Amino acid sequence: MQALAHLYPLLQTPRKIVITMHQKPDGDAMGAALATFHFLKLLGHDATVISPTNWAKFLNWMPGCNEVTDYELHAEKCKELVNNAELLFCLDFNSMHRTKKLETVLLEAKCVKVLIDHHEAPVEEHFDYGASDIMKSSTCEMVYDFIMQSPFSDKINLDIAACIYTGIMTDTGSFRFAITSAQTHKAVVHLKELGLEHSIIHEKIYDNFLENRLRFIGNALLYHLEVLYEYNTALMAISKKDIMRFDIQTGDTEGLVNYLLTIQDIKFGALLIDRAEERKWSFRSKGNFDVNEFARLHFEGGGHKNAAGGRSLESIEVNIKKFKEVIKLYETDLA
């Protein structure tokens, strides 16, 4: 995988380009994809964004989101776009399997493939050019660097700035996570100097839910929160019944796992959600407890040191039982 600096000459000539991200894209994935989309369009490229799945409605305000194609709804169209592409940008995922059913299409594509991501252990052999940096706050910060280090750094406009800020803000937990660096803040200063109105973006992301989501969160905290004080761990499991009862949609559970870490002395928070096809884990931690390693070893997942995810085809009951057995191995680490 060659450095991104070697990619810039290929961008001098208009090309057909597809941009994609991981399934169920969050603010960072969608922000990175749309920022790249706007940047490439300004350079004269025929660019298209494909999402492997649907996404949260609170992202629909983002500039260009109405032009994103959902692979699950338009599979044949997306396959044709990928097959005809000259360049494929893969953003905010380290392995093609994170694109769900789109994986095979991407692996079989004959075009030049580009990776920009901040997760551990990228499958570099799948990509021709790329950057992978776990010390970056977000993929959006890396897209900012990609643009600023290019010969086209003057192309950042307010649409690009809004998309980049969205990803940085959401992946840093509104700048409170340790991964937030001085360089992260310097990037935001630049975006502000361009005229970015950050408070409006915050409202659209965090103050834009329906009443049922708030009632769902209250119900989850009241009836499904379990605190394992002997391991400084909090666990929450959400059943399909509750998902249906409160009409929970993609994105409605975003941030729920973070509530667990607000409990005094809790170092590890684990959220399990019973999805239709599988059980999905979200892990968060404080300090040195590595949830990326925990997820990789026990729940077919991974991510970052303090934020990771996992999956399982076993029932919700089996998952809870396994978690309570596994956590015993980490009593010293969580003391």
Q: What's residue 277's pLDDT?
A: 83
Q: Domain limits of the chain?
A: 4-206, 211-330
Whole-structure pTM value: 0.92
Whether 270 and 279 have beta carbons less than 8 Å apart is answered as: no
Whether 130 and 59 have beta carbons less than 8 Å apart is answered as: no
- In angstroms, rounded to a whole number, what is the distance separating the alpha carbons of residues 105 and 123? 16
Whether 164 and 191 have beta carbons less than 8 Å apart is answered as: yes
Whether 35 and 230 have beta carbons less than 8 Å apart is answered as: no
Q: What's residue 29's pLDDT?
A: 98
Task: For 4-206, give the CATH class.
Answer: alpha beta
Q: What is the DSSP string of 168-216?
A: HHHHTTTTTSTT--HHHHHHHHHHHHTT--HHHHHHHHHS---HHHHHH
Q: Which residues of the chain have pLDDT under 50?
A: none
Q: What's residue 39's pLDDT?
A: 98
Burial of 92 (0-12, 13-18, 19+ CB in 10 A): buried
Q: What is the DSSP string of 152-180?
A: TGGG--HHHHHHHHHHHHHHTTTTTSTT-
- In angstroms, rounded to a whole number, what is the distance separating the alpha carbons of residues 52 and 164? 20
Q: What's residue 298's pLDDT?
A: 97
Task: Answer yes or no: CATH 3.10.310.30 is held by domain 211-330.
Answer: yes
